[in-house]
């Protein structure tokens, strides 16, 4: 399931809903992203997440669908916020539930890596030096590239 919203979310409640009644689930891997106070050394007082609504939902759904095809998932969830957020606020939550933990962990990492490089969100940080758009990180590209399939079965 995919949700793009301005409001905060409750990780515990979301997980309970996700796994409720499905006793084939042996484990859930979860990642929660938070606003840090010190990207690049200049104090961050807040950030604004801009996004491209029509494309965001479409891309997140595609990424989730890809994860479901690659791993035997019993349930999955991506929640991403937009709008103004302050240090310590939750930005994103990704969860993948499977019979075994390896599939859950891998799918969760995959979802985060692809979300980071494909979902159309942009961070505008309010710093000591004024507002500035955050640059994409090479390490995120490298992390996403781990999951690109080669050869005739390639998904892209």
> Which residues of the chain form contacts with a copy of itself (CB under 8 A)?
10-13, 15, 19, 21-38, 87-88, 99, 101-102, 104-105, 108-109, 112, 139, 143
Instruction: Determine if 124 is a binding residue for other proteins (CB under 8 A).
Output: yes
Residue 19 or 48 with smaller CB distance to a copy of itself: 19
Residue 58 or 70 with smaller CB distance to other proteins: 58
Q: What does residue 12 show for φ and ψ, rounded to 5 degrees?
A: -60, -45
Residues 73-92 that bind other proteins (CB under 8 A): 80, 91-92
CA distances from 68 to 10, 63, 64, 96, 129 (A): 24, 9, 6, 9, 43
- Report how far residue 101's alpha carbon sits from residue 20's, in angstroms, rounded to the nearest whole number: 18
Whats the size of the chain, residue-wise? 156
Q: Which of 7, 135, 139, 146 binds other proteins (CB under 8 A)?
A: 135
The two tokens of residue 112 are 């985060």
Q: Which of 133, 142, 148, 149 binds other proteins (CB under 8 A)?
A: 133
Size of the site for other proteins (CB under 8 A): 28
In whole angstroms, how close is the CB of 54 to a copy of itself at the nearest point? 27
10 Å CB burial of residue 133 (0-12, 13-18, 19+) is exposed
Q: Which of 9, 11, 118, 127 binds other proteins (CB under 8 A)?
A: 118
**Residue 136 interacting partner from other proteins, a copy of itself, none (CB closer than 5 to 8 Å by kind):** other proteins
Long-range contacts for 146-152 (Cβ within 8 Å, ≥24 apart)?
146/113, 147/110, 147/113, 147/114
Nearest to 29 by CA among 80, 113, 103, 91: 103
**Binding stretches for other proteins (CB under 8 A):** 33, 49-52, 54-55, 58-59, 80, 91-92, 112, 115-124, 133-137
């Amino acid at each position: 399931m995919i949700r793009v919203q301005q409001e905060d979310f409750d990780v515990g409640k979301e997980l309970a809903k996700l796994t409720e009644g499905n006793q084939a689930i042996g484990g859930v891997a979860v990642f929660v992203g938070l606003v840090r106070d010190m990207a690049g050394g200049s104090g961050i007082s807040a950030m604004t997440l801009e996004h491209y609504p029509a494309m965001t939902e479409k891309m997140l759904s595609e990424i989730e669908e890809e994860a479901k095809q690659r791993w035997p998932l019993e349930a999955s969830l991506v929640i991403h916020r937009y709008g103004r957020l302050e240090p310590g606020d939750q930005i994103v939550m990704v969860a993948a539930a499977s019979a075994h933990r390896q599939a859950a962990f891998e799918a969760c990492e995959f979802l985060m890596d692809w979300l980071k490089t494909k979902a159309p969100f942009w961070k505008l940080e309010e710093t000591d030096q004024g507002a500035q758009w955050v640059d994409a990180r090479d390490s995120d590209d490298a992390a996403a590239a781990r999951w690109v399939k080669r050869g005739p079965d390639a998904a892209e």
